[in-house]
Amino acid sequence: MDQTARPPTATPPAAAGAYEASLSRSIGVGGNILITLSSISPASSVFILGGSALALFGTGVFWAFLIAGVVSILIAFCYAELASAYPVAGGDYSLVSRALGPAFGVATFFISLISLPLIIAVFALGVADYLGVAIHGLSPQQTALVVVVITTVTACFDIRTNAWLTGVFLGVEMAALVLLTVLGFVHMERPLSSLLSPEVLDPATGQLAPLAISGLMLAVTQGIFAYNGYGGAVYFAEETKNAARSIAKAVIWSAVITVATELVPLIAIMVGARSQTELFGSSLPVEAFLTERAGHAVAMVVMLSIALAVINAIIAITLQAGRLLYAAARDRALPGTVAAPLQAVSTKGRVPVLATVVMGAIAFAACFVPLDVLLTATGSTLTFTYLFIALAAINHRRGGTARPGYRMPLWPLAPGICIAALGLVFVVTLLDPEQWLSLGISLGLVAAGFVYFALYLRPRKNTHLLLLDAAPEETC
């Protein structure tokens, strides 16, 4: 595939202090939302994370995921304001670098550089579990390797093609969520008010018992993780039309749709299950509910649709990963010999092909790492990323220097609540010895980012880490 840059005649000249536009600004708010929702994969979140939460926290999932939804919307406000002010490719790294400071931005880059390909590997290793309902004997690792290759190649297509493709797959998984919702509310066994008192299955008695506050807080953290991904809209800021005005809409709508499409089906499952004790006692609660209400054949079809949803998520995350590496190379956050080829885009599709392939190759290699190690390595990274985004949203307006664009309501309430909630997450993590290794890995990545900035980038501040704006799009 041709890796030469976009022809100069097709690009408006970059303004002083701006990058020359290289990516294809060819999708609207809707296309951005489709890709972003695909990376979140609400259906797989409901089946995997939601199912796990039901088994661990019972009806506490209602309050936990509701609180997590509020926190997620507030974080989305932070993303939206920052992205409107800095509509540059690169996601969290680009926003934090410009609004909080380059040292924090590089730390965020280190987190994303490692976590994105590892998350791809985690998703890919789980595909065989869902395809296995139709194709028995699949090897999780071999299946994952094939999936990573296919999705990496797909992510090298132009952004409009990927928006269309991920949109089709997203429609399939949304249909699965609608089915769960209908089955639950049509067969309601108990009123919605029954969810107001959080109860969990007590293994000793086999009956429901009140859920402790500490358990509810742990459930909130799982809810925040289940909703994660709406900030992915920022990765495509330079490929979205009228990004300075529309990217905020893409972020907020992605968050709202995610919360609704995950919380409502989980509520329907809890009120529609014949027995909550059997539901919460099942190893796979969502699958058990689906089989109970729709039969084995329908459950099998839905499981296959979840496999498509996971593959769809991998495509979308690979798209994000490629743009992260491309943005860092273009900012010269990497050594020149490394950055030069990684910032090139294809002539025809104007896609950062090499950067995408490199991130896909890292994900391919990660498929050889045990799954529990991958989960540990990525477990606490989200907390640091959200913390930096919330701090950036406060620092962005400090001294009245904020750029024009979207303004979140009731600033600084949203980032303030987010910081408090994330502080609580840190406390819960510190109280759980099983999370210490994950927290230590995340702290190590943050520290490595600060050290790299201090020793390599800061001494070269005149030639490296050039945090410029993207050139304005053509108006003709």
Ordered per-residue pLDDT tens for the chain, 476 residues? 444 444 433 444 455 467 776 888 889 999 999 999 999 999 999 998 999 999 999 999 999 999 999 999 999 999 999 999 999 989 999 999 999 999 999 999 999 999 999 999 999 998 988 888 778 888 999 999 999 999 999 999 999 999 999 999 999 999 999 999 999 999 999 999 999 999 999 988 999 999 998 889 889 988 999 999 999 999 999 999 998 889 999 999 999 999 999 999 999 999 999 999 999 999 889 999 999 999 999 999 999 999 999 999 999 999 999 999 999 999 999 999 999 999 999 988 899 999 999 999 999 999 999 988 998 888 889 999 999 999 999 998 886 666 778 999 989 999 999 999 899 888 888 888 888 999 999 999 999 999 999 999 999 999 999 888 877 665 43
Question: Which residues are CB-contacts of 373 (< 8 A; sequence separation ≥ 6)?
Answer: none
Question: Which residues are CB-contacts of 214 (< 8 A; sequence separation ≥ 6)?
Answer: 428, 431
pLDDT on residue 391: 96
pLDDT tens digit sequence for 298-332: 999 999 999 999 999 999 999 999 999 999 999 99
Region for 20 from its dihedrals, namely left if φ exceeds 0, alpha if ψ lies in -120 to 50, beta otherwise: beta
Give the separation between CA 391 and CA 218, rounded to whole angstroms. Answer: 23
pLDDT tens digit sequence for 46-63: 998 999 999 999 999 999
Burial 186-220 (b: 16+ CB within 10 A, else e): eeeeeeeeebeebbbbeeeeeebeebeeebbbbbb
Give the separation between CA 96 and CA 90, rounded to whole angstroms. Answer: 10
pLDDT on residue 137: 85
Q: How many DSSP H helices and E strands does the chain contain?
A: 19, 4
pLDDT on residue 399: 65
210-217, long-range: CB < 8 A, 24+ apart: 211/57, 211/58, 211/59, 211/60, 214/428, 214/431, 215/56, 215/57, 215/60, 216/57, 216/60, 216/63, 216/64, 217/424, 217/428
The two three-digit tokens of residue 167, written as one number: 């949109």
Query: DSSP class of residue 367?
Result: T
pLDDT on residue 474: 54
Of 381, 310, 371, nearest to 113 by C-alpha is 381
Question: Which residues are CB-contacts of 268 (< 8 A; sequence separation ≥ 6)?
Answer: 180, 181, 182, 183, 184, 185
Asked if 90 contacts 324 with a C-beta cutoff of 8 angstroms, the reply is yes
pLDDT on residue 366: 96
Give the separation between CA 76 and CA 228, rounded to whole angstroms. Answer: 10
Read off the pTM: 0.90
Amino acid at 321: A
pLDDT on residue 249: 96
Domains of the chain with CATH codes: 24-459 (1.20.1740.10)
pLDDT tens digit sequence for 379-403: 889 999 999 999 999 998 886 666 7
pLDDT on residue 135: 82
Asked if 277 contacts 285 with a C-beta cutoff of 8 angstroms, the reply is no
The two three-digit tokens of residue 174, written as one number: 């949304």
Give the separation between CA 61 and CA 57, rounded to whole angstroms. Answer: 6
Give the separation between CA 353 and CA 358, rounded to whole angstroms. Answer: 9
